[in-house]
Amino acid sequence: MKFQGSQNYVATQDLMLAVNAAITLQRPLLVKGEPGTGKTMLAEEVAQALDMPLLQWHIKSTTKAQQGLYEYDAVSRLRDSQLAEHDSAERVKDIRNYIVKGVLWQAFTADRPVALLIDEIDKADIEFPNDLLRELDRMEFYCYETRELIRAKHRPLVFITSNNEKELPDAFLRRCFFHYIKFPDAETMQRIVDVHFPKLKKELLAAAMKTFYDVRNLPGLKKKPSTSELLDWLKLLMAEDIPLEALQSADSKVSVPPLVGALLKNEQDTTLFEKLVFMNQRNR
Ligand SMILES: Nc1ncnc2c1ncn2[C@@H]1O[C@H](COP(=O)(O)OP(=O)(O)O)[C@@H](O)[C@H]1O
Ligand SMILES: [Mg+2]
């Protein structure tokens, strides 16, 4: 099993190495990086490339570790017990009918190896990663209601992503293979754009990329635009048929690039950017 990147996804050498290292070590791959740098997509692409079904678990601030294992639906059971029908009376007898299997349960009991994505783990509360330590390490857990041990038939390939909003506990980190997706350099970014917009004109791309990196390198930005923002912006530029000249700052005029709302997502950043453009104009 070796991941080599894919048609839709540009993987740098070090990223491929990391994926393969996690596969070899049989440890979860923890992927960090700015939002929009392809962390979620990585899991989807690796799963597809290795022909594994992908189970996804998107974490929210309210997500509990237990939900990934299973939940006992006591309310349904109570309701069924109050119905007079024969069917429901039968159902009620077996508690197993009220165990809602979480993604880990599904991954552990699947007939073939699957990929499992635990997306944006840093959204959950601080205890969440610790609560999953044993399950991810030993690949088993106990269901008290049915008194059975759920053990992985095949070790799933686990991807965990984080946007770095919270630090993860050391004990958790110890068990993962770690990779930080660095923000793509211009050359890699070019390849990514090519994957999405193969027909984009070279000159337009070059001008747009220059503007993009200029915006990104503005000192003091609150939220730097990332890959997905660049892609959105390019899509708009093409849809609106923005001429090349609108992007190139000809000597006489420096202006705010069109549709900058695709790149800058808050008013402080837009104001900062406009001020800078204004100052540049005056200095000419
Ligand atoms: N290496 C890449 N190759 C191709 N497309 C990419 C790459 N990185 C990011 N993208 C694009 O950016 C979008 C956002 O990626 P996503 O995986 O959702 O980011 P994240 O999960 O890191 O926030 C993807 O839908 C894809 O279109
Ligand atoms: Mg994501």
Ligand 1, closest atom to CA 184? 1
The burial class, CB within 10 Å (0-12 / 13-18 / 19+), for 245 is exposed
- State the Cα–Cα distance between residues 106 and 154, nearest whole angstrom: 11
**Ligand 1 pocket residues where CB is under 6 Å:** 9-10, 33, 35-41, 161, 192, 195, 227-228, 231
Atom of ligand 1 nearest to the CA of 42: 17
Residue nearest to atom 27 of ligand 1 (CA): 228
pLDDT for the residue 246: 81
Taking the CA of 31 as reference, the closest ligand is 1
Query: Residue 27 — pLDDT band, cuts 50, 70, 90?
Result: very high
Q: Is the pLDDT of residue 15 over 90?
A: yes
Strands (E) across the chain are located at 29-32, 54-58, 70-72, 99-101, 115-119, 140-143, 148-151, 157-162, 177-180
Given a cut of 50, is residue 252 above it in pLDDT? no
pLDDT in tens, 144-185: 999 999 999 999 999 999 998 889 999 999 999 999 999 999
pLDDT at 284: 67
Tell me the average pLDDT across 43-62: 96
Ligand nearest the Cα of residue 228 is 1
Q: Which ligand is nearest to the CA of 39?
A: 1
pLDDT of 281 higher than 80:
no
Task: End-to-end CA distance of the chain: give it in Å, rounded.
Answer: 58
Query: What's the chain's Rg over C-alpha atoms?
Result: 24
The mean of the pLDDT values for the chain is: 92
Pick from 41, 54, 180, 194 the residue to mutate for probing ligand 1's pocket: most ligand atoms within 8 Å of its CB.
41
pTM of the model: 0.92
Give the span between the Cα atoms of 126 and 179, in whole angstroms: 21
Listed range (16-30, 66-80, 202-216) with the worst mean pLDDT:
202-216
Contact, 182 vs 11, CB < 8 A? Answer: no
Q: Which of 194-198, 238-242, 255-259, 278-282 is most confident?
A: 194-198
Amino acid in the structure at residue 75? V
Tell me the CA–centroid distance for residue 229 and ligand 1, in Å. 10
The answer to whether 131 and 125 have CB atoms below 8 angstroms apart is no
For residue 14, give the amino acid letter. D
Q: Copy the structure tokens of residue 108.
A: 């552990």
Pocket test for ligand 1, best of 7, 14, 37 (most atoms within 8 A of CB): 37
